[in-house]
A and B are shown apart, each in its own frame.
Chain A
Amino acid sequence: MDFKVGAPESVDTDTEEGRKFRQEIRDFLDKELTPEVVQARELQRDRPYDLIPLAREFSRKLAAKGWLAPRAPRWPKEYGGVERSDEEQRIIFEEFTARGIVVGSAYGGIQGPIIMRHGSEVMKREYLPKIARGEISFSLGYTEPNAGTDLATLEMRAVHDGDDYVINGQKVYSTGAHYSTHHWLAARTDPSAPKHMGISLFIVDLASPGVTIRPLWTMDGERTNEVFYDDVRVPVSNRVGEENQGWSYIREALGVERIVMGGMAGTGSRSILDDLIDYVKETKRGGRPLAKDPSVRQSLAQLAIETSIRRLFNYRTGWLMSKGVIPEVEAAISKVWGNELDQKVGHIGTQIMGLYGQLESDSKWVPLDGRVEYRHLFAVHLSYGGGSHELMRSLIATRGMGLPREPRV
C-alpha cells in the first residue's frame, strides 16, 4: 500500500523531460490562472459545466494546450490528440490538483471516449480533433418531461428521411445548451421496438434550423434549458454508431459521466471547510469565538473526516482507472459520498453561521461571499443529477455485493 499523492513528493522523481513539462505547466498557470479566473471558478467550483464565460475561456485555453482531459483515454495523434507519456499524465494531474483545478466535462470528456469507441471514421476525424482542441462543446440532450431516471422511456422522435433524420420533440435540463455548440441527443428511431431497443444517439449542431432553446432558472440562480426540436434535419452521418443501438452507448456515456462526476463530487467541500474553519476562529458569538463552541468543533471535525474519506474514495477510483479497470461501483460510491458531503457542508456550514447563513452572495453583511449559502442550494440537485442516489445505491449493492436485482415489472 502507498498513499503518496500530489506534487511536492513527486517532483524529485521527475525525469529531465518531466521537469521541463512541469515547468511549462506552472508557467502557463502562473500567467493564465489570474485572480479573476480563480474567482470565476470559485463561484462554480466542482461543477460539471463551465457556466461562467471567464472560466470557460480558461478551460478552452487548457484544451488548446492539450491538457484538458488528462485522465481521459489516450487520444491518438490521427484524431488531433497528443500522445502523452504516463509521466506527463501524472504531472498534469498533480499540478492541476495542487492549484485546485477541476476540469469540467462540457468539452467532450464524456463524448470523446464514446465517439472513439463507436463513431464512424468520418465522425472521428471530424469531431475528435475539435474536442481535443476545445473548439466545440456539448450539452446533454437526454432528459425529457416524462423521462428522467427512467430515461429509456424517452419520446423524442427521429425519422429517417433520405440522408437526414427529421427530429421532433422536447428535451429539458440541457444545461449549457445556450452557449454550447452541440447537443448530445438521444431520440427514438423505432417506436415499435421495446423501449431500450429503439433509441439512437446523435450529435446535433445547436445552430440548426428548428432548434429553440429557452431558459429554465434553477433555485440556486443558475440557468439550464429546455430545448425544442421542430422538424430539425440532422445528417445521418451525425448518428453515433448503429441505429437503434443508442441505449447501450448512452449507458456507456452515463458510466463515463458518473466517473467524471464521482471524481468531482465533494472536491469543493475541502476549500469551503477551510473557509469555515477560518470563519469560526474569527467570529464571536456571545463573547466567545465560535471555534470554542463544542458543537461547532464536533461538526467541523466530522466534516473534515468525511472529506478525508471523500479524498480516499476518489483516489481509489483514479487508481483503478490508472490500472485500466472501469470502476463502476467505486465511481458510484464516490458520487454518492461526495455529493452527500456537498449537501452536508452547505447545510452544516449555514447552521454554524446562524442568521448570517441565509445571506446571499451580493448582500450587505454576507460572510464568505455567500459561498456556503450557495452550496446549500446548489448541492440539492447532486443527489439525483447524473444518476439518482437511489439507483446508485442499488447499483452498489447489486454489482458491489452481488445482491439480486429488483424484478422488472
Chain B
Amino acid sequence: MDFDLNEEQEMLKTAARDFLSKECPKALVREMVQDERGYPPELWRKMAELEWLGLIFPEKYGGLGGSFLDLTVLLEEMGRACLPGPFFSTVVQSGLFILNAGSEEQKQNLLPKIAEGKVIVTLALTEPSASYDAASVGVEATSNNDDYTINGTKLFIPDAHIADYIICITRTKKRGVPEEGITAFLVDGRSPGINCTVLKTIAGDKLCEVIFDRVRVPKKSIVGKLDQAWAPLEKTLQQATLAKCAEMVGGGQQVLEMSADYTKERVVFGRPLGSFPVIQHYVANMMMEVDGSRFLTYEAAWKLSEGLPCTMEIAMAKAWTSDSYRRVTALGQQIFGGVGFIEDHDMPLYFKRAKAAELTLGDGNFHRERVARQLGLPFHAQS
C-alpha cells in the first residue's frame, strides 16, 4: 500500500502544473471557447515537444512508454487547468484505440504522427441515439469491391471539425449479436461527403455533428479487423472513461482549493467566511468528495497499469466522480456567491465542464448499472 506518486510522476505533475499555469491561463481557456478551432496550435506544438502526446505510447511507436497511471497524473493537471483542445480525442480516444485495434503497420504509421503533434484524430462512435453500446451503432459501411461506402450521422464527436482523420465506427453486419459486425474505418477528415457542424455546448468544447453522405473509403483503411472492432473499442472506452475521471479529479481539486482560499479572504459580518461552521462543513464535504474521487480513480488506474481486472473499479470511479464533481462545483458556486456567477470568473468554467464531463462516456446512472452487473445482480434486460 502506497498512496504516493513515484519520483517520475511527481516530476511530471510539477512540470505539468508549471507549464499549464504559464501556457494555459484562464484567459486563453475562455478565448478558446469562442475560438472556431477551439485550441491554440502553438500550445499543441509545445505539448508535443514535452512528449505528452506520446506519453502513453510504446517507445517503438515514437512514445515514452508511460503507464496509464502516468497518463492519469498528466490528465489530472489538464483537468485542473481546463486545458482546451484535442488531447482527449486525439491521444486518449483515438491513440489508444489504434493501439488496441490497429495492425502493426497502422500503429507504426499513425502513432508517431500523433506523438509528434502532426495529426489530429477523433473517434466517432455516438449517434443521435446518444448511446455507447454496440446495438446503437447504426451508421453503415457497405462493401463494393475494394471500397466501402459509409452513410449516416455521428453526433457529439469531439474536434471532428479540425480532425485530419476520423475513426468512424460503423456497422458492417446487420444480423447476429450487435457486438459482432462493428468495423472501424480511418477516414480522411476532408473526404468528399463529410459534412461537419460544430454544436453549441455548455462547456464550449467542440462537439460536432458529422454526416457521412456516401463517403467512399478503401478497404485498407479498416483499423484492425473487419467486423471485430467492438472488443478493442470497449477496452478503449473503459480507458477513456477513466481518463475522463482523472480530468474531473483535477478540476475538483482546483475548485476545492480556490473555494477554500476564498473563504479565508472574504470577510462577512466582520469575520472570515471560512470561520462559519456551515461554510467549514461545505469545504469538508468538498474535500471528502474530491479525495473519494481521487482514490477510486487512482486505484482503477493502478490496476489498469498492472494489467489487473478493473471493469468494476472503472465503473465505480466514473459513477462517483461524475456526480461528485458536479456537487463540488455546486458547493463552490455557493461559497463564491454572486461573484462566481459572473462569466469572467473561473467558477463557471469548472461548473460547466463538470456537467459536460458527467454526461460524457456514461453518467452516474449508466455506470451504477454497470456496477450492479459486476456485483452479480442479474442483468436487467433479461427480465
B21 touches A (CB below 8 Å): no
Question: Is A396 a contact of B287 with CB atoms below 8 Å?
Answer: yes
A234 touches B (CB below 8 Å): no
Question: Is B372 a contact of A405 with CB atoms below 8 Å?
Answer: no
Per the bound structure, the CA–CA distance linking A403 and B302 in Å amounts to 32
Interface residues of A in 306-329 (CB under 8 A from B): 306, 308-309, 312-313, 315-316, 318-319, 322
Chain B residues whose CB sits within 8 angstroms of the CB of A308 once the complex forms:
296, 313, 316
Question: Is B281 a contact of A393 with CB atoms below 8 Å?
Answer: yes
Interface residues of B in 350-374 (CB under 8 A from A): 365, 368-369, 371-372
Per the bound structure, the CA–CA distance linking A337 and B292 in Å amounts to 10
Per the bound structure, the CA–CA distance linking A400 and B256 in Å amounts to 11
B285 touches A (CB below 8 Å): yes
Question: Is B302 a contact of A3 with CB atoms below 8 Å?
Answer: yes
B320 touches A (CB below 8 Å): yes
Interface residues of B in 241-276 (CB under 8 A from A): 256-257, 260, 263-264, 271-272, 274-276
**Residue total for B at the interface (Cβ-Cβ under 8 A):** 51
Which of B1-9, B33-41, B78-86 lines the interface with chain A? B1-9
B69 touches A (CB below 8 Å): yes
Chain B residues whose CB sits within 8 angstroms of the CB of A318 once the complex forms:
1
Which residue in A316, A333, A336 is a CB contact (below 8 Å) of B3? A316
B279 touches A (CB below 8 Å): yes
Which residue in A305, A337, A390 is a CB contact (below 8 Å) of B319? A305
Which residue in B1, B276, B368 is a CB contact (below 8 Å) of A3? B1
A409 touches B (CB below 8 Å): no
Contact status of A403 and B376, CB under 8 A, knowing A305-B320, A312-B295, A319-B2: no
Question: Is B295 a contact of A403 with CB atoms below 8 Å?
Answer: no
Which residue in B276, B279, B296 is a CB contact (below 8 Å) of A305? B296
Which of A57-65, A137-145, A289-297 lines the interface with chain B? A289-297
Chain A residues whose CB sits within 8 angstroms of the CB of B313 once the complex forms:
308
B31 touches A (CB below 8 Å): no
Per the bound structure, the CA–CA distance linking A308 and B378 in Å amounts to 21
Question: Is A4 a contact of B371 with CB atoms below 8 Å?
Answer: no
The 8 A CB mask of A324-356 against B (1 = contact, 0 = none) is 000000000100110000000000000000000
Chain A residues whose CB sits within 8 angstroms of the CB of B376 once the complex forms:
277, 281
Question: Is B280 a contact of A394 with CB atoms below 8 Å?
Answer: yes
Chain B, Cβ-Cβ closest to A273: B375
Question: Is B377 a contact of A403 with CB atoms below 8 Å?
Answer: no
Question: Is B274 a contact of A319 with CB atoms below 8 Å?
Answer: no
B327 touches A (CB below 8 Å): no
B234 touches A (CB below 8 Å): no
A406 touches B (CB below 8 Å): yes
Question: Is B375 a contact of A333 with CB atoms below 8 Å?
Answer: no
Per the bound structure, the CA–CA distance linking A3 and B274 in Å amounts to 34
Per the bound structure, the CA–CA distance linking A294 and B264 in Å amounts to 44
A2 touches B (CB below 8 Å): yes
Chain B residues whose CB sits within 8 angstroms of the CB of A281 once the complex forms:
376-378
**What is the CB-to-nearest-CB distance from B41 to chain A, in angstroms, rounded to a whole number?**
34
Per the bound structure, the CA–CA distance linking A397 and B256 in Å amounts to 11
A300 touches B (CB below 8 Å): yes
The 8 A CB mask of A351-394 against B (1 = contact, 0 = none) is 00000000000000000000000000000000000000010111
**What is the CB-to-nearest-CB distance from A326 to chain B, in angstroms, rounded to a whole number?**
16
Among A1, A318, A337, chain B packs the most CB atoms within 10 A around the CB of A1
List 4 other contacts, CB 8 Å, given A292-B383, A297-B372, A397-B260.
Answer: A312-B299, A316-B295, A397-B280, A404-B272
Interface residues of B (CB under 8 A from A): 1-6, 9, 69, 256-257, 260, 263-264, 271-272, 274-277, 279-281, 283-285, 287-288, 291-292, 295-296, 298-299, 302-303, 313, 316, 319-320, 365, 368-369, 371-372, 375-378, 380, 382-383
20 contacts between A and B (CB under 8 A): A1-B6, A281-B378, A292-B383, A294-B369, A297-B380, A298-B365, A304-B371, A304-B375, A308-B316, A309-B295, A312-B295, A312-B296, A313-B292, A336-B284, A390-B277, A397-B280, A401-B287, A403-B260, A404-B264, A406-B280
Interface residues of A (CB under 8 A from B): 1-5, 277, 280-281, 288-289, 291-292, 294, 297-298, 300-302, 304-306, 308-309, 312-313, 315-316, 318-319, 322, 333, 336-337, 390, 392-394, 396-398, 400-407
